[in-house]
């Protein structure tokens, strides 16, 4: 089968790999839509890799035993490979599993875990079924496109009475705008890239402010009076994390979705105790909420605006160049085009 690989700095191409085989409760899925996510970082770094992609939607084509799925079922492939046994996995918070299966631990039959490929193999419990009528590319947004921010909004309790600040309007932040607007929230976005600022407005953000503008904190205060009810950082930058904390009203809630390994200076008294602020980290959503997220995907008119580009997998070089240009929302790869 065809699979994408990074060959060197800013160079990607297709390679041939053996097709994965089903075994036990692991089923083979023919990938029809593979969203691009953080893989552009490896493309820029030039670290050779044929292990690309963790988001997909497709069709079950082979099973090894009777189980939750049958051949022909349409499914979303959830990111990662939780152990399936621990309390976190069983409760639906499998993304936090401490015994996640790594690439070299995959059973015989080929790894089959990268989603920039024509086939993948996965335990059936990590392959929730797509409702009838939802196309594969829309359903694939139930991974990071809409899933990451959906989980955060469940924690934040975002609803029609919420004013929400979203910092960073990359694909995850733009997905957050879609989720927030679906819930009827008032949305303020902070984003510097004009293409993405425009897209955030098109998706329903009331105001899009420039993080480099020193007047931005005052402008948020002006728009809200007392500060936002909730803030969601999708940028993974310390400056934006600080803005989220400062711009949120007393007794408000802040969630962090953007990955970050830098140090944020936090003063417990002024930042948390006296403001009564709740800070939380959020990676993904509980698997039990899959149906609720599918309702957003099936009914929001904004979904097609969130997907800005589609590429055949054979055009992986052009797809990566689009991804690093930041002139895009969510990009979807088709391994069969
Ligand atoms: Zn587990
Ligand atoms: Zn992702």
Residue 122 lies in a domain: yes
Cβ neighbours, 10 Å, residue 167 = 29
Q: Do the beta carbons of residue 74 and residue 139 sit within 8 Å? A: yes
Confidence of residue 101 (pLDDT cuts 50, 70, 90): confident
Confidence of residue 105 (pLDDT cuts 50, 70, 90): low
Quick: pLDDT tens for 242-297.
Answer: 999 999 999 999 999 999 999 999 999 999 999 999 999 999 999 999 999 999 99
Q: What is the CATH number of the domain that holds 27?
A: 3.90.180.10
Q: Are residues 201 and 156 in the same domain?
A: yes
Q: Which ligand is the nearest neighbour of the Cα of 77?
A: 2
Quick: pLDDT tens for 125-134.
Answer: 999 999 999 9
Q: Are residues 41 and 86 in the same domain?
A: yes
Q: Are residues 6 and 73 in the same domain?
A: yes
Residue 161 lies in a domain: yes
Please compute the mean of the pLDDT values over residues 65-91 and round it to a whole number. Answer: 96
Residue 110: is its pLDDT beyond 60? Answer: no
Q: Do the beta carbons of residue 257 and residue 172 sit within 8 Å? A: yes
Q: Are residues 173 and 66 in the same domain?
A: no
Of the candidates 298, 279, 281, 332, the one whose C-alpha atom is nearest the C-alpha of residue 95 is 281
Please compute the mean of the pLDDT values over residues 186-214 and round it to a whole number. Answer: 98
Q: Are residues 60 and 105 in the same domain?
A: yes
Q: Are residues 107 and 187 in the same domain?
A: no
Residue 109: is its pLDDT beyond 70? Answer: no
Please give the helix or strand (H or E) that residue 109 lies within, else none. none
Residue 288 lies in a domain: no
* Ligand 2 centre distance from Cα of residue 33 (Å): 13
Of the candidates 8, 18, 1, the one whose C-alpha atom is nearest the C-alpha of residue 117 is 1
Q: Which ligand is the nearest neighbour of the Cα of 86?
A: 1
Q: What contacts 274, CB < 8 A, 6 or more positions away?
A: none
Residue 328 lies in a domain: yes
Cα gap 205→177, rounded to integer Å: 7
* Ligand 1 centre distance from Cα of residue 97 (Å): 4
Give residue 24's domain range: 2-129+303-334
Residue 142: is its pLDDT beyond 70? Answer: yes
Residue 62 lies in a domain: yes
Residue 160 lies in a domain: yes
- Which of residues 177 and 108 earns the better pLDDT score? 177
Please compute the mean of the pLDDT values over residues 14-33 and round it to a whole number. Answer: 95
Residue-level pLDDT at 106: 65
Residue 234 lies in a domain: yes
The structure tokens 């899933």 sit at 147
Number of structural domains the chain divides into: 2
Q: Are residues 206 and 315 in the same domain?
A: no
* Ligand 2 centre distance from Cα of residue 166 (Å): 18
Residue 188 lies in a domain: yes
Q: Which ligand is the nearest neighbour of the Cα of 171?
A: 2
Q: Are residues 243 and 166 in the same domain?
A: yes
Q: Which parts of the chain are beta strand (E)?
A: 2-8, 11-16, 26-35, 56-62, 74-77, 119-123, 163-167, 186-190, 207-209, 228-233, 248-256, 278-281, 307-312, 330-334
Q: What is the pTM of this model?
A: 0.96
Please compute the mean of the pLDDT values over residues 207-235 and round it to a whole number. Answer: 98
What is the number of residues in the chain?
337
In order of 85, 91, 123, 126, the CA distances from 68 in angstroms are 16, 18, 10, 10
Q: Are residues 100 and 190 in the same domain?
A: no
Which residues lie near ion ligand 1 (Cβ < 5 Å)?
82-83, 86, 89, 97
Q: Are residues 205 and 181 in the same domain?
A: yes
Cα gap 120→24, rounded to integer Å: 15
Q: What is the CATH number of the domain that holds 212?
A: 3.40.50.720
Q: Are residues 274 and 166 in the same domain?
A: yes
Quick: pLDDT tens for 214-225.
Answer: 999 999 999 999
Cα gap 306→301, rounded to integer Å: 10
* Ligand 2 centre distance from Cα of residue 324 (Å): 15
Residue-level pLDDT at 291: 98
* Ligand 1 centre distance from Cα of residue 123 (Å): 13
The structure tokens 């079922």 sit at 73
User: SS3 for 241?
Assistant: helix
Residue-level pLDDT at 102: 75
Please compute the mean of the pLDDT values over residues 61-68 and round it to a whole number. Answer: 97
Q: Are residues 149 and 88 in the same domain?
A: no
């Amino acid at each position: 089968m065809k699979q994408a690989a990074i060959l060197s700095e800013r160079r990607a191409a297709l390679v041939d790999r053996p097709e994965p085989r089903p075994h036990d409760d692991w089923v083979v899925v023919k990938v029809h839509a593979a969203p691009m996510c953080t893989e552009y970082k490896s493309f820029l770094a030039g670290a050779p890799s044929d292990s690309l992609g963790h988001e997909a939607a497709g069709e079950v084509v082979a099973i090894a035993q009777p189980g939750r799925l049958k051949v022909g079922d349409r499914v979303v492939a959830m990111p990662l490979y939780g152990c399936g046994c621990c309390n976190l996995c069983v409760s639906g918070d499998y993304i936090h599993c401490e015994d996640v299966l790594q690439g070299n631990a995959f059973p015989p039959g080929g790894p089959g875990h990268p989603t920039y490929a024509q086939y993948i193999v996965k335990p059936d419990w990590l392959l929730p079924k797509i409702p009838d009528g939802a196309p594969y590319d829309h359903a694939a947004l139930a991974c990071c496109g809409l899933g990451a921010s959906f989980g955060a909004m469940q924690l934040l309790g975002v609803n029609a009475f919420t004013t929400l600040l979203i910092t960073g309007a990359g694909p995850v932040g733009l997905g957050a705008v879609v989720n927030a607007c679906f819930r009827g929230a008032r949305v303020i976005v902070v984003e510097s890239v004009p293409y993405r600022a425009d897209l955030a407005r098109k998706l329903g953000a009331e105001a899009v402010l420039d993080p480099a503008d020193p007047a931005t904190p005052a402008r948020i205060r002006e728009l809200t009076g007392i500060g936002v009810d909730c803030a969601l950082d999708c940028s993974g930058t310390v400056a934006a994390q600080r803005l989220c904390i400062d711009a949120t009203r007393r007794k408000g809630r802040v969630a962090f979705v953007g990955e970050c390994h830098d140090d944020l200076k936090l003063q417990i008294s002024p930042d948390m105790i006296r403001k009564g602020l709740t800070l939380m980290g959020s990676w993904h959503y509980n698997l039990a909420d899959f149906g609720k997220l599918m309702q957003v995907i099936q009914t929001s008119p904004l979904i097609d605006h969130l997907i800005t580009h589609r590429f055949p997998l054979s055009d992986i070089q052009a797809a990566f160049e689009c991804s690093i240009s930041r002139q895009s929302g969510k990009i979807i790869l088709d391994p069969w085009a």
